[in-house]
Amino acid sequence: MIEKERLRRVYLVGFMGAGKTSVGQCLARELRYRFVDLDHEIERDTGRTIPEIFRDDGELVFRRLEARALRAVGGQPEIVVGTGGGTLTLWENRDFVHLTGVSVWLDAPLDVMLDRCRGGEHRPLLAGRPEMEALFAERVGSYRLSDLRVDASADTPEALASRIVSMLAGMR
Ligand code: S3P
């Protein structure tokens, strides 16, 4: 059994193209929680796009902004958070997610995720397959620490959201 307080926040984690935003929106609707996309929060707070932040200030500054945004949204009740593919690379963020909510890893084969990212100029870290393979290999260990894992490759966002709702109900 998981503490009641943690069930009030659901963090969707996983690599770029896993479907964190689309599944998160459906999940929030089903749970009657609010949906927040971390990248959108950063863009709203800074008035700049993610590619602009990477271009002008670099990844390190982006990670600092991301950690700050995570803390701001993670303090709110009844919320579904779509994290960024690299949010869990910082151990502070992993700890924060674990302490404040339930994490759900949307897992899918790399090719499926990369296919979904096609035409994604808004993803500054997107590169060729070998680079993405290496990045995924670096990160998969942090995704694996999640409370729940769902195969996000086949179903629609609505079906995945329903499955997650059932899994969360089983944790109560
Ligand atoms: C990133 C993923 C992006 C965004 C930024 C960095 C990453 O989010 O946060 O471009 O490090 O994998 P998505 O996972 O929503 O694409």
C-alpha distance from residue 17 to each of 6, 95, 118, 152, 170 (Å) = 26, 24, 9, 10, 27
Q: Which domains does the chain have, with CATH numbers?
A: 6-169 (3.40.50.300)
Q: 34-73, pLDDT tens digit by residue?
A: 999 999 999 999 999 999 999 999 999 999 999 999 999 9
What residue ranges line ligand 1, CB within 6 angstroms? Answer: 16, 20, 39, 50, 84-86, 123-125
- pLDDT of the residue at 4: 86
- pLDDT of the residue at 154: 84
Q: 67-82, pLDDT tens digit by residue?
A: 999 999 998 999 999 9
Point out the ligand 1 atom lying closest to the alpha carbon of residue 122. Answer: 10
User: Is the model's pLDDT at 1 over the cut of 60?
Assistant: no
Copy the structure tokens of residue 67.
């950690």
Distance CA 38, CA 48 (A): 14
User: Is the model's pLDDT at 122 over the cut of 80?
Assistant: yes
What count of residues does the chain have?
172
Q: How far is the CA of 39 from the centre of ligand 1 (A)?
A: 8
Mutate to test the pocket of ligand 1, among 15, 16, 118 (most ligand atoms within 8 A of CB): 16
β-strand partners of 103? 11
Structure confidence at residue 3 as a pLDDT band (50, 70, 90): confident
User: Average pLDDT of the chain?
Assistant: 95
- pLDDT of the residue at 71: 97
Shortest-distance Cα residue to atom 10 of ligand 1 = 123
For 145, which DSSP code? T
Shortest-distance Cα residue to atom 12 of ligand 1 = 85
The answer to whether 79 and 34 are in contact (CB under 8 A) is yes
Q: 137-163, pLDDT tens digit by residue?
A: 999 999 999 999 999 998 999 999 999
Mutate to test the pocket of ligand 1, among 125, 132, 138, 139 (most ligand atoms within 8 A of CB): 125
Shortest-distance Cα residue to atom 4 of ligand 1 = 84
Q: State the pTM of this model.
A: 0.96
Task: List strands edge to edge, sheet with 9-13.
Answer: 34-37, 79-82, 9-13, 102-107, 148-151
Structure confidence at residue 132 as a pLDDT band (50, 70, 90): very high
Point out the ligand 1 atom lying closest to the alpha carbon of residue 51. Answer: 10
Q: How far is the CA of 7 from the centre of ligand 1 (A)?
A: 24
